Amino acid sequence: MSLSQFHDTIAAIATPEGRSALAIVRISGPDAIAIMSRIVSEPEAVWSARSASAVYTEIADVDDVVVHIHRAPRSFTGEDLCEITPHGSPVIARQILDLLVVNGACQAEPGEFSRRAFFNGKIGIEEAELISIKADAQSEHELRGAELAVHEKFERLRSAYDSLISLIALVDAEIDFGESDHIEIKDFAERLESVTSSLEQLIRDSANRRSNAGFFTVALVGPPNVGKSSVFNALLNFERSIVSEVPGTTRDYVEAFIDVDGFRVKLIDTAGTRVTSESLEERGIQLGRIAARHADISLRLTEPIDRFPTLQNGSVLLHNKIDLDHWTEGLRLSARTGEGLELLHAWLTGELRERSSELSLVALSDSEKSRLEGIKERLQAVNLDTEPVILAEELRLACSGLAEMLGMNLSYDSLNHIFSKMCIGK
C-alpha cells in the first residue's frame, strides 16, 4: 500500500540524450502500473508482477523492452515505480515517454523522483544532495571530494544541533523543576560559545573553499616553435593541434580535456609569444596569456636554443626536445620520442593531489551560508541572564534553523532549491 502524499503519476527519461546501448524511462505514482500495462503487449504480466521483478515485453510499434516493477512502498520513491529499459536511441525513449503521457502520466520536473523519495521518507536530505552530486561528477576525484564535502557539512551541522538540543534540555529542566543549581552558568556559557564558534568555523572553511569547477587547468606557454603543440598532442595521445617547423603555427588557443590519474584536466595549447606586427597573431598571443594567467598550472616550455627562458608569475619550466640536447635539471621530455612523458605525468599527478588537498572540505551554498550567519548571530545575541523561558525560546529559534538545514521541518522553498538543481528523471 502506498503512503505517498502525491496523487499524480510522473514519468521521465532518466538517461542522457545521445547514443547508448540502453536507455531508462521511469514512471512513478499511484497509476504507474495501470498506465504501464496500457502500453505493453502483455498487460497481465505487468499487473501480476511481484515487487522488484522484471518483465520482458513489447511496446507495440516502438521496441521490445524490459520493465522493472517496484511496488509501493518498496521502491526508490516509495510509490509504485516502473523502470522501462528499451534500446538506447533517444527517439525510442521519447516515444515511450509520449505514450506514458498520452495514457495519463505527467512529465516530471527536475529532481521530482528524489523529491518524492524524500517526502515519502525513503531518503534523507544528505542522500538527496549526494544523488545530485553523483549525477553531475565528471571525475573520480571530483566525486570523492564532493561526497566528502557534503558529509562534512552535515556532520558539523548535526553536531551543532545536538549540542544545542542538550542545552535546551537543561533550560527546560530548570523551567519544569526549578532546580537552578543544575545549570552551571559558566559551563553553560562555554558550551554555547563552542556551538557558536563551530558555526563560525564552518562558514570560514566554506569561504576558503577554492572551487575548481570539477577540473584543473594546465596551460602550455612559451615562445614559438619550442614544441607546445607537440607536447599538447603527446599528453592527449592524439593529434589535435597542428605542429610544424614554422614559428607561429598555433594562432588561437586550443583546449582539450585529459584524465591525469583520476583528475580531470583542461589542457590548453597557446600561441607562441613573440613580438609581431600582425594584429591577428597579436590577439592570439593575448588570449593565450589570459588563459595561462587563469590556469592552475602554467608550464613554460623551452628548447635547447632557448637559453634564457623568462618565467612569469608562478610558471614552471619544462625542457622539451631532450633528444637534441641533454638537460640534467628540472622537468624535461622529448615530445618526439616520448622520453620523459611518464615523469611529466607523475609530476602533474603530484601537483594536482597537492592542490586538491588544499580545497577545503566543506561546501556551503550562498543561501546556506547566509542562514548559518543568521543562526550564529542569533546565538551570539542570547542573553544568559534572562528568564529561563525566554532563554529556551531563543535557543529553540536558533535550533529550528539548524533543523531546517538538516532536512527536518523543511520549508517548501528550501526543498525546491535542493531538488530543482537535479536533472529530470532523478
Ligand X SMILES: Nc1nc2c(ncn2[C@@H]2O[C@H](COP(=O)(O)OP(=O)(O)OP(=O)(O)O)[C@@H](O)[C@H]2O)c(=O)[nH]1
Residue from 4, 9, 212, 229 that binds Mg ion (CB under 5 A)? Answer: 229
Strand order across the beta sheet in which 216-221 lies: 254-260, 263-269, 216-221, 297-302, 316-319, 331-332
Residue from 96, 150, 171, 226 that binds ligand X (CB under 6 A)? Answer: 226
Smallest separation, CB 380 to ligand X (Å): 58
Is 74 in contact with 53 (CB distance < 8 Å)? no
Per CB under 6 A, contacts with ligand X among 365-424 are none
The option from ligand X, Mg ion, none interacting with 244 (CB < 5 to 8 A, set by class) reads ligand X
Separation between Cα atoms, residue 27 and residue 101, nearest integer Å: 10
Residues 6+ apart with CB under 8 A from 170: 182, 183, 188
Nearest Cα to 376, choosing from 169, 208, 166, 157? 157
Separation between Cα atoms, residue 222 and residue 292, nearest integer Å: 10
- Cβ closest to ligand X, residue 215 vs residue 253: 253
Residue from 292, 320, 364, 418 that binds ligand X (CB under 6 A)? Answer: 320
Smallest separation, CB 249 to ligand X (Å): 4
Separation between Cα atoms, residue 64 and residue 155, nearest integer Å: 46
Nearest Cα to 77, choosing from 36, 35, 108, 40? 108
Cell readout for 255 is: 583546449
Is 206 in contact with 156 (CB distance < 8 Å)? no
* Residue 249 found at the interface with ligand X (CB under 6 A): yes
* Residue 247 found at the interface with ligand X (CB under 6 A): yes
- Cβ closest to ligand X, residue 115 vs residue 300: 300
Taking CB under 5 A as the binding criterion, the range among 168-176, 210-218, 250-258, 333-341 that sits at the site for Mg ion is 250-258
Please list, residue by residue across 303-341, b when 16 or more beta carbons sit within 10 angstroms of its beta carbon and e when fewer do: beebeebeeeeebebbbbbbeeeebeeebbbbbeeeebb
* Residue 302 found at the interface with ligand X (CB under 6 A): no
The option from Mg ion, ligand X, none interacting with 273 (CB < 5 to 8 A, set by class) reads none
Separation between Cα atoms, residue 256 and residue 140, nearest integer Å: 18
Separation between Cα atoms, residue 296 and residue 239, nearest integer Å: 24
Residue from 86, 111, 145, 272 that binds ligand X (CB under 6 A)? Answer: 272
Residues 6+ apart with CB under 8 A from 340: 322, 331, 332, 333, 334
Report the residue number whose CB is nearest to ligand X: 272
* Residue 330 found at the interface with ligand X (CB under 6 A): no
Q: Count the residues of the shown chain that bind Mg ion, applying the rule CB under 5 A.
A: 4
Residue from 243, 292, 398, 410 that binds ligand X (CB under 6 A)? Answer: 243
CA 241 vs. chain centroid, Å, equals 30
Residue from 68, 321, 376, 426 that binds ligand X (CB under 6 A)? Answer: 321
Q: Count the residues of the shown chain that bind ligand X, applying the rule CB under 6 A.
A: 23
Residue 271 one-letter amino acid:
A
- Cβ closest to Mg ion, residue 85 vs residue 229: 229
The option from ligand X, Mg ion, none interacting with 310 (CB < 5 to 8 A, set by class) reads none
Taking CB under 6 A as the binding criterion, the range among 81-89, 158-166, 291-299, 317-325 that sits at the site for ligand X is 317-325
Residue from 70, 153, 228, 300 that binds ligand X (CB under 6 A)? Answer: 228
Give the binding site for Mg ion (CB under 5 A).
228-229, 249-250
What residues line the site for ligand X (CB under 6 A)?
A: 224-230, 243-245, 247-250, 271-272, 320-321, 323-324, 334-336
